[in-house]
Amino acid sequence: MKRAAPAVLRGAILTPAGFVDGTLDIDAQGRIGAIEGLAIDSRKARESGMPLVLPGFIDLHVHGGGGRDIMEGGDAARSVARLHAAHGTTALLATTMTAPPAELASAFGGLAATLADGIDHGARVLGVHLEGPYISGARLGAQPDHARPVDLDELGRLHAQVPIRLLTLAPEIAANMALIPALCRAGHVVQIGHTLGSYEHGVQALQLGARGFTHLFNAMSGMHHREPGMVGAALAHADYAEIIPDLLHSHAGALRVALRAIPHLFCVTDSTAAAGMPDGEYRLGSQTVRKCLGGVRLADGTLAGSTLTMDQALRNLVDTLQLDLPDAARRVSTHAADFLGLEGRGRLSRGAFADLVLLDRDLQLQDVFLEGVALDARRN
């Protein structure tokens, strides 16, 4: 791994306390040595013409990008991490599909090699989001039909290859619900998703230790005023949930509802191999998907992940949903870091990793630093 060269960046720097007009020092260990400057508000920061320096984006739901799919195994994750780093993502979870045990083991084998190599190939791959197979066969969404209850032996074998940081399950399956406390004790963060479960199932799962919801609104029982469903449980009780702000998976009005209801709602891309690629056919696990008009779908028209990147997610939050830039930045970085318990990531403060992005006033990406190393330098 290339070592960071000490550097000083000048601009409007977003600290946990707000923007400062000043400087950020990067030390030889790739961490932030100091931030100095005078406080300015976010409007003046954008109008100043200075580079906007924000925390690097953190994406906890990434299936692919750049024409490659995590389930391919081999070196696919390297290409995926490289594509997302070019769009400002500095840390991510490689996300697997529902699949037979042998296919999952093969994908994990490729991921193990990528993690051993470090970050030279792109964004830091922090581990795995196991989105399946412990989900409802009646709410597969675009997942292949290999759903099954939680299997602790299978989970242990996979976790020994690559850390499973985040695990999605359907809590209405009795075996899954019963194992939530054990999964949490083992260090897995549990999310509720791909579920037909009721409001009551959601509340019980949260009480047992589940902490979030997978792509809120999508592939879960919806809200009705007499049957609030899993969406109702999330809106009434969740502190954290992930959402896909591509304006295809959820209407802007639904996004606004979630933003008002869930304090630490954070963004994910749910990106596929089609991200960063032209229209055409790509793989999503064992399935063929087609990218067309900005969306990705199965042959039957079902949405199958996205082509979203986190820099576009930020622009959607600010330009379409009218979020203040510091709030939007927290939702593409800080909240995800806190949800996963990441030390030294998701915020620009002394001692944190120098994972950061430089944007212009239109929120177009200008540069990316990954643990203190500029993206352009990493390509040399």
Catalytic one among 59, 69, 246, 270? 270
How far apart, in whole angstroms, are the C-alpha atoms of residue 346 and residue 344? 7
The verdict on whether 270 is a catalytic residue reads yes
Please classify residue 243 by burial: count the beta carbons closer than 10 Å to its beta carbon, then call 0-12 exposed, 13-18 middle and 19+ buried: buried
Count Cβ neighbours within 10 Å for each residue of 290-317 and write b for 16 or more, e otherwise.
bbeeebbbeeeeebbbbbbbbbbbbbbb
How far apart, in whole angstroms, are the C-alpha atoms of residue 72 and residue 265? 30
What secondary structure, in 3-state letters, does 195-223 show? ECCCHHHHHHHHHHCCCEECCCCCCECCC
Lookup: tokens for 247: 């304006």
The residues that are catalytic are: 270
